Amino acid sequence: MLPGLVPRNAVRRRDDRDHADRIALSAATTDGVHMRTEDVRAWIAERREANTFHVERIPFADMDQWWFEEATGNLVHRSGRFFAIEGLHVVEHDGPHGDGPYREWQQPVIKQPEVGILGILAKEFDGVLHFLMQAKMEPGNPNLIQLSPTVQATRSNYTKAHGGTNVKLIEYFAPPDPERVIVDVLQAEQGSWFFRKSNRNMIVETVDDVPGVGDFRWLTLGQIAELMHEDETINMNARSVLSCLPYHDTDPGALFSDVQLLSWFTNERSRHDVRAQRIPLKDVGGWKQGVEAIEHEDGRFFNVRAVAVKGSNREKISWTQPLLESVGEGVVAFLRREIGGVPHVLVHARADAGFLDTVELAPTVQRTPLNYAHLPAENRPPFLDFVQDAPRSRIRYEAVHSEEGGRFLNARARYLVVDADETVDPPPGFAWVTPAQLTTLTRHGHYVSVEARTLLACINAAVAQPRANAVIDFPSVHGKARA
């Protein structure tokens, strides 16, 4: 027995295979015991009406408890908690010993050393696993309220550093009952906007009577999968957590063995040399600071803004904070093809300056087209034009999802799974893998990027079936059937 782990003998231990059977059943169940899927949108609208929500852009000088440090120009909270906006100087070499082509740039970045908790509570009703989802307001979401994990809290939140109320149901996750854990893994957030930020992604089962009332509702995985077809309904943190569920591999027969895949991935980590150094925000070149925004000189990438927020169902009712505002809508896509009759997706070993370990497996395309519109075709990112111009007949999945609304303002991307040409020859840094291989890697931290986890959650929930009814093909996962 590990120190600090006390067994609870009343609970039968379950292994991943047992969990996978129950997860498959939940994914195949589209009728929940507490709410019909078609009623969820009306419920979210009702929660929006039942609470007071208001987000207003303000000048930096009007922020309460936030200030620009005199020595560094960093935007920090007076408590020293939460997060800070600092500068980052990056030199990226693409060669085995740092001797290949390189890029160099500077940018603002979010430094948030705290590890937050993203926790979903699970419980069986009528023999089917349900997951407790919260209709949560985040100031950066365009529609404000989306379905989030049961608990979505930074350490400052659940230790009440801001003087707010208790985080509801935090007792199931900090710490969890070790006999009831289904998922517990540290995962990174956006490496392009955060500097080495991780959250604890958790799913914990309970037998307690936890009512789905107010801002909370119990839903099956099948219901959640249907809602992932809707624009901006399931938030980023929920998508990340759900991607880590242990599913069955319904299509064994990957192009590369797990050992070969890990060797390729290790080689990609070894050949990239990304040197990211935190610098004072006031020293960041190529950016200009005004009264209400910090912006890139070319008007691309993102802005830093300040907002004043009121949210009557939050632990703290009103506050101010900075947010990173996206410039343009992103495109995030997996190319997909069958190899030997087995569905594969094309992953990109992406090196972002904010990653803890240089490289994570990302979607085939993860770009904001506006940032590349000025470039000639030969200099545009691989597959971006192919994905943007894909006809409806090639699109297997499509929805617009928001990114993390607690730190980003109006950061939205069009998420897609697109059939590739059979002749696609992956360039260096790309490889064909099965969704099951990616799912296995989500059980470990810092392998699969948050954008890839979103697409993986959509794929897995759509194709999961009980073992006896396992599907062979990777079906269309549009909200509507393909023509």
Question: Tens digits of per-residue pLDDT, 101-113?
Answer: 679 999 999 999 9
Q: What single-letter DSSP state applies at residue 72?
A: T
pLDDT tens-place string over residues 274-314: 999 999 999 999 999 999 999 999 999 999 999 999 887 66
The C-alpha atoms of residue 301 and residue 331 are separated, in whole angstroms, by 14
pLDDT for residue 41 is more than 60: yes
Reported as a single tens digit per residue, the pLDDT across 68-112 is 999 999 999 999 988 999 999 999 987 655 555 679 999 999 999
| 240 labelled binding-site residue | no
Establish whether 30 is an annotated binding residue: no
**Is the pLDDT at 169 greater than 80, yes or no?**
yes
443 annotated as ligand-binding: no
Residue 372 annotated as part of some ligand binding site: yes
Q: Please report how many Cα atoms fall inside a 13 Å half-sphere around the Cα of residue 130, on the Cβ side.
A: 25
- Token digits of residue 39: 């009623």
Residue-by-residue DSSP string for 80-131: S-S-EEEEEEEEEEESTTS-S-EEEEEEEEEE----EEEEEEEEEETTEEEE
303 is in an annotated binding site: no
User: According to the annotation, is 392 in a ligand binding site?
Assistant: no
- Is 328 annotated to bind ligand? no
Q: Give the per-residue pLDDT at 163.
A: 57
In the prediction, which pLDDT does 263 show?
98
pLDDT of residue 251: 84
Q: Which domains does the chain have, with CATH numbers?
A: 19-54+113-243 (3.90.79.40), 55-112+280-322 (no CATH), 258-275+327-464 (3.90.79.40)
Residue 404 assigned to a binding site: yes
Phi, psi of 480 (to 5 degrees): -120, 155
Question: Annotation-wise, does 192 bind a ligand?
Answer: yes
Packed helices 450-463 and 236-243: angle between N→C axes, nearest 10 degrees? 60
Residue 405 in marked binding region = yes
The DSSP annotation for 248-302 comes to --SS---SS-HHHHHHHHHHHHHHEEEEEEEE-GGG-TTEEE-SSEEEETTS-SE
350 is in an annotated binding site: yes
**Model confidence at 481: pLDDT above 70:** no
- pLDDT(24) > 80: yes
Choice between 338 and 166, residue whose per-residue pLDDT is larger: 338
Least Cα distance to 272 among 193, 348, 162, 177 occurs for: 348
**What's the pLDDT score for residue 266?**
97
| CA-based nearest residue to 286, from 299, 300, 276, 297 | 297
What pLDDT score was predicted for residue 6?
43
The whole-number average pLDDT for the span 460-479 is 50
- Check the annotation: does 70 bind a ligand: no
Residue position matching structure tokens 């003998």: 9
| Cβ proximity of 259 and 83 under 8 Å | no
Is 102 assigned to a binding site? Answer: no
Q: What sign has the CA pseudo-torsion 13, 15, 21, 25?
A: positive
Residue 379 assigned as binding residue: no
Q: For all residues of the chain together, what is the average pLDDT?
A: 90
Residue 471 has pLDDT above 70, yes or no: no
pLDDT single digits (tens) 406-451: 999 999 999 999 999 988 899 999 999 999 999 999 999 999 999 9
Please tell me whether 67 is known to bind a ligand: no
Does the annotation place 156 within a ligand binding site?
yes
pLDDT at 464: 61
Task: Tell me: is residue 154 an annotated ligand-binding position.
Answer: yes
Whether residue 267 is annotated as binding a ligand: the answer is no
**Can you give the pLDDT at residue 209?**
97
Q: Which helix (H) or strand (E) holds 24?
A: helix 16-27
pLDDT surpasses 70 at 470: no
Predicted confidence at residue 162, as pLDDT, reads 56
* 198 marked ligand binding residue: no
**pTM tops 0.75:** yes
CA–CA distance from 231 to each of 238, 260, 269 (Å)? 14, 36, 34
- What is the pLDDT, as a whole number, of residue 207? 97
